[in-house]
Structure 1
Amino acid sequence: MVPIRTFFCQLHEAFDALDAAILGKGAIKKSKMGNPENGRRAEGDQQRLQADLMNQVGGLFENFLSKPPPPNIVDLWKEHERIRGHLNEICKIQSEMNASNDSTIERSPELLSAFIAWADQIGIQRDGVDVVESSDVGGYGLTANKSISKNTVVVSVPRHATMSLDLAKKSSMMKKAFEQDPIVQRMENVALALFLCCHRLKSDSKWKAYISMLPRQFSSPLYFNDEDMLKLKPSPVFEEAMLFYRTVARQFTVFFLTVSRNEAFEKARKASKNSNTEPPILYNTPFTMSNFTFDLYRWAVCCVTTRINMIPSETDKTKDGDVKLIPALIPVLDMANHEFVNEIIDEAVAFNTESDTAEIVATRGYESSKPVNIFYGRRSNAEHLLHNGFVPEGHNSADRYKLKIGLPRTDKNFQQKHKMIFDLGFAGWYESNIFMFDLANNIKSEQILLAALKFLKVRFELLEKTYGEIKAGQNSIEKNIEGLKLGELAILNRAKNYCEEYEKAILNPTKSPTKKPTEHVSRSLAKKSAEV
């Protein structure tokens, strides 16, 4: 049995390195298409809308998304508002171009029945569980229809019933993209999201019944409006959410500009019957300038980030020759909701290499009519919100707080601080922005150690005050934000108290005769390192 590791879609971290290869260094030129002098009015209107659309997308990329994000949180928010403005205009133009939109079609008992019939026909097996609507999660989930014993395989999904990266590579729609597009080649999760977009628009898709049961909207920050986004302040997730939104918007513009070449190629081919021009890389997809929308791409990204699992590839190997794990969407299995546990448990989701199936194995017994959930993995509340669209209820022992301490080059003492960072062992601090630092073992001077503790304690106190009174959430988004902030406040409070205890241990070592300060601190740091 090979464990399936739920895949995190940290899209914004990998994209920067690809810009030069994908887009080159030149700016995107705005379209100069105009109304044809002699043609039907409808065709002229379409030409005008296409020109407006290209100007909006080109302007969005050229003015914002082709550049690094602003380092200042205030400027980042201003940019975020401008990006949203452009995307809203793009959406309006595409609506005028009669873009098909089925986002208003809600999941229903009829669609659920069709999905279950499709799942049964394709070979997905269920033992003791049904897919039912759950008011607790505002969606669907798995529920036991009989008593289930521990270690029972309750769901079994054959490989051919999974929407995997292997399948996307074999697809005629995506073949050229996998051969030529750097994003699709290197970012497997993005490739799968694009493949899902293809099948959502494909009227005769094999996956139509499955796609019809996927959520139409999500509670991820990608779907937050401006007001909800601002409610994240002062959490560090406020900045992360804007950067994530920015990255998805940037990917959309790159793919849209690629799609726009399809119509230009078609016109050129009609004008010259003997044209030997190679078709664009997304020419075989159902994408057009009117139907490849930000809403479509954002939806697909959320489907991937919230539902993806890893399965062993049929063909791909790692550099060491081992079977490579690839991302996949797994119907029925991905209907299982999250159940948080603090203790170590067996893997509930695994891939059986003998039967070539993805499975849910009951990690405990279930009574009839009780929900059958799985544990999504040890993640912080921030990771849950960004990539799963919810914050788990109760205490999360894996929760963390990202403390951002800036060192701007405009600082008058930049050189001295730069040298101190190197002296403390952060040789590659400019290459990464996350560190774990053991105060007890890395700082030998008690004077410097006390100064560091004082600095951190004051920082934690100031951060606590910025949260103010946390209002009780009135809807699912607000409740998630409430849970996120309460968890962060608890971490800050523990961190502040820890610094105070550490100071006392240094200043009054005789009060802890059985423990040396450094021994006490080392053990405490090991315990707290995941929290701060």
Structure 2
Amino acid sequence: MASVFPACSGSASLFQGTNFFPFAAKGSPLHLKTPLSAKCVASLGTEISVPPAVDTFWQWLKEEGVVSRKTPVKPGMGPEGLGLVALKDISRNEVVLQVPKRLWINPDAVAASEIGKVCSGLKPWLAVVLFLIRERSKDDSLWKHYFSILPKETGSTIYWSEEELSELQGTQLLSTTLSVKEYVKSEFRRVEKEIILPNKKLFPSPITIDEFFWAFGILRSRAFSRLRNENLVVIPFADLINHSARVTTDDHAYEIKGAAGLFSWDYLFSLRSPLALKAGDQVYIQYDLNKSNAELALDYGFIEPNADRNAYTLTLQISESDPFFGDKLDIAESNGFGETAYFDIFYNRPLPPGLLPYLRLVALGGTDAFLLESIFRNSIWGHLELPVSRDNEELICRVIRETCKTALAAYHTTIEEDQKLKAAKLDSRLAIAVGIREGEKQLLQQIDDIFKEKELELAELEYYQERRLKDLGLCGENGDILGDLGKFF
């Protein structure tokens, strides 16, 4: 996190780490599992040995009418641990599983349960977390065989030790992880005080912070959020499916109305294979095309080697101490932004739309402040899309470059050192840390290079006053002031 205050009266900007939104899911299934140990992995096309708990879970699915001899997939062991394996050749977009709504774990399931009434005022994710913890402790839970195959923790950075987290020194992922952990702790303390302790009949056994983190991690890593009318739902069996970067679409999950048993109809979660598969292949989906590597590490505990997944978030803020705060905020809000704006910079991609205008707005002051007058209110954003003045452009370049320099100094390794480490065989969590910090540093260098190039072009740029004079016919194409007006410039 780096705070930057431009050396300009009334113009301040703040750059800080990624803000945390508890369940602002971007759309796809959230999921990753710590691998269960297996006795062996059979050859392709044969039965794959899995832990006994998985066999019991499969039998439960049969008894519930979820699977049958026609089901084309079954739990099996693969490179990622437990996943879903094709029992026959599967065509692209072929339905591989369907799970009836009565087995979904979602806010509706909580509302229909014994704790539904006391959880009615909670955020949906908190209600589901309490439901997961309570159902896991019950011997007669409908989902007891499902809970028996869930990991004790995921690979998410929220479960990393202090030593492991130290490898993320300087990264935005570290600050985000610590913020998430503190947020979860505060929510636990509040729910414990308001819900758990006053309702000991419903929660006879004490709930620990570790159990709360377990349920939070399970929910964050396994919930689907793309279904119609469903923003947060865990679907046993479907959540065994693993992620692959080879899958480049994320439109594989559907909610349909269909047969959910011999004599019953229900909403079904339907999952299609995005790839054509041979018998024995593992079935994969794409968790989320829009998540950065840092988000993948936080949610699931893995990253992709693809550099295009790397991102760095610039957080810009209009300072309340800015004498033009009210005007700037009004302009920002009129153009879809607020007092604080977040811009994700991705590797080898152009700067995101709105970044430069917002930067110029935040830095606006001095002789450029006339643009904040109400007469320009409907046109100012268009003016901010282009350089306003040399002073303004020079300021934003200097501030951004100083921010990059400060952020790069916070890492305890260089890019070259990280690249050497990557060549060695690393523990999975260390490999994630090295990949994240290398990616962030490459992006900071990329951002610095962009604004360094802009600095070199300052003398060649066309600024507002020159554009205005041209519009009035008072300035030639070469920037020369025409007629007697030239005496005043």
TM-score (norm 2): 0.67
Which of 150, 155, 166 aligns to 2:97? It is: 155
SS at 2:217 equivalent: helix
SS at 1:155 equivalent: strand
Partner of 1:133: 77
- Aligned residues of 2:318 and 2:328 also touching (Cα < 8 A): no
Provide the rounded CA distance (Å) in 2 between the counterparts of 1:423 and 1:115.
56
Provide the rounded CA distance (Å) in 2 between the counterparts of 1:311 and 1:423.
34
Cα displacement string for residues 393-446 of structure 1 (whole angstroms, at most 9, x for unaligned residues): 32234x42123568888xxxx445858955974789885453642346164113
Which of 281, 294, 304 aligns to 1:382? It is: 294
Provide the rounded CA distance (Å) in 2 between the counterparts of 1:415 and 1:421.
9
Long gaps (5+) in structure 2: 1-18, 25-33, 39-49, 260-266, 344-353, 358-383, 463-489
Provide the rounded CA distance (Å) in 2 between the counterparts of 1:483 and 1:387.
16
Provide the rounded CA distance (Å) in 2 between the counterparts of 1:329 and 1:9.
22
Give percent identity, aligned residues only: 21
Provide the rounded CA distance (Å) in 2 between the counterparts of 1:458 and 1:294.
40
Partner of 1:171: 113
Query: Structure 1 residues 447 and 342, CA, compared in 2 at 3 Å: closer, same or farther?
Result: farther
The 5 A counterparts of 1:107-256 are 109-125=51-67, 127-134=71-78, 136-137=79-80, 139-172=81-114, 174-179=115-120, 182=121, 184=122, 187-256=123-192
Partner of 1:97: none
Partner of 2:401: 457
- Aligned residues of 1:217 and 1:299 also touching (Cα < 8 A): yes
- Aligned residues of 1:308 and 1:327 also touching (Cα < 8 A): yes
- Aligned residues of 2:157 and 2:297 also touching (Cα < 8 A): yes
Provide the rounded CA distance (Å) in 2 between the counterparts of 1:374 and 1:9.
26
Long gaps (5+) in structure 1: 1-7, 14-102, 262-279, 313-322, 511-532
Q: 1:400 aligned to 2:341?
A: no
SS at 1:203 equivalent: coil
The 5 A counterparts of 1:477-492 are 477-492=429-444
Which of 426, 443, 451 aligns to 1:474? It is: 426
The 5 A counterparts of 1:2-151 are 10-11=21-22, 109-125=51-67, 127-134=71-78, 136-137=79-80, 139-151=81-93
Q: 1:335 aligned to 2:240?
A: yes
Partner of 2:356: 438
Provide the rounded CA distance (Å) in 1 between the counterparts of 2:21 and 2:300.
12
Cα displacement string for residues 434-464 of structure 1 (whole angstroms, at most 9, x for unaligned residues): 3642346164113311321232123223423
Provide the rounded CA distance (Å) in 1 between the counterparts of 2:313 and 2:113.
41
Offset at residue 487 of structure 1 (A) = 2.0
Provide the rounded CA distance (Å) in 2 between the counterparts of 1:329 and 1:484.
28
Query: Structure 1 residues 297 and 461, CA, compared in 2 at 3 Å: closer, same or farther?
Result: same
- Aligned residues of 2:84 and 2:282 also touching (Cα < 8 A): yes
- Aligned residues of 1:165 and 1:326 also touching (Cα < 8 A): no
Query: Structure 1 residues 430 and 149, CA, compared in 2 at 3 Å: closer, same or farther?
Result: closer
Provide the rounded CA distance (Å) in 2 between the counterparts of 1:368 and 1:297.
39
| Letter of the 1:340 counterpart | A
- Aligned residues of 1:9 and 1:387 also touching (Cα < 8 A): no
The 5 A counterparts of 1:251-330 are 251-258=187-194, 261=197, 280=198, 282-289=199-206, 292-310=207-225, 324-330=229-235
Cα displacement string for residues 58-79 of structure 1 (whole angstroms, at most 9, x for unaligned residues): xxxxxxxxxxxxxxxxxxxxxx
Cα displacement string for residues 38-69 of structure 1 (whole angstroms, at most 9, x for unaligned residues): xxxxxxxxxxxxxxxxxxxxxxxxxxxxxxxx
TM-score (norm 1): 0.62
Offset at residue 234 of structure 1 (A) = 0.2
Provide the rounded CA distance (Å) in 1 between the counterparts of 2:258 and 2:226.
13
Offset at residue 167 of structure 1 (A) = 1.3
- Aligned residues of 2:97 and 2:271 also touching (Cα < 8 A): yes
Query: Structure 1 residues 426 and 389, CA, compared in 2 at 3 Å: closer, same or farther?
Result: same
Offset at residue 140 of structure 1 (A) = 0.9
SS at 2:83 equivalent: strand
Query: Structure 1 residues 502 and 9, CA, compared in 2 at 3 Å: closer, same or farther?
Result: closer
Bigger helix fraction: 1
Offset at residue 508 of structure 1 (A) = 4.4
Cα displacement string for residues 294-342 of structure 1 (whole angstroms, at most 9, x for unaligned residues): 1111100100000001376xxxxxxxxxx73242111111011111258
Partner of 1:357: 268
- Aligned residues of 2:312 and 2:443 also touching (Cα < 8 A): yes
SS at 2:269 equivalent: strand
Provide the rounded CA distance (Å) in 2 between the counterparts of 1:150 and 1:429.
41
Offset at residue 141 of structure 1 (A) = 1.0
CA RMSD in angstroms, aligned pairs only: 3.3
**Higher relative contact order, structure no. (Cα contacts within 8 Å, ≥ 6 residues apart):** 2
- Aligned residues of 1:151 and 1:363 also touching (Cα < 8 A): yes
| Letter of the 1:143 counterpart | V
Provide the rounded CA distance (Å) in 1 between the counterparts of 2:195 and 2:460.
68
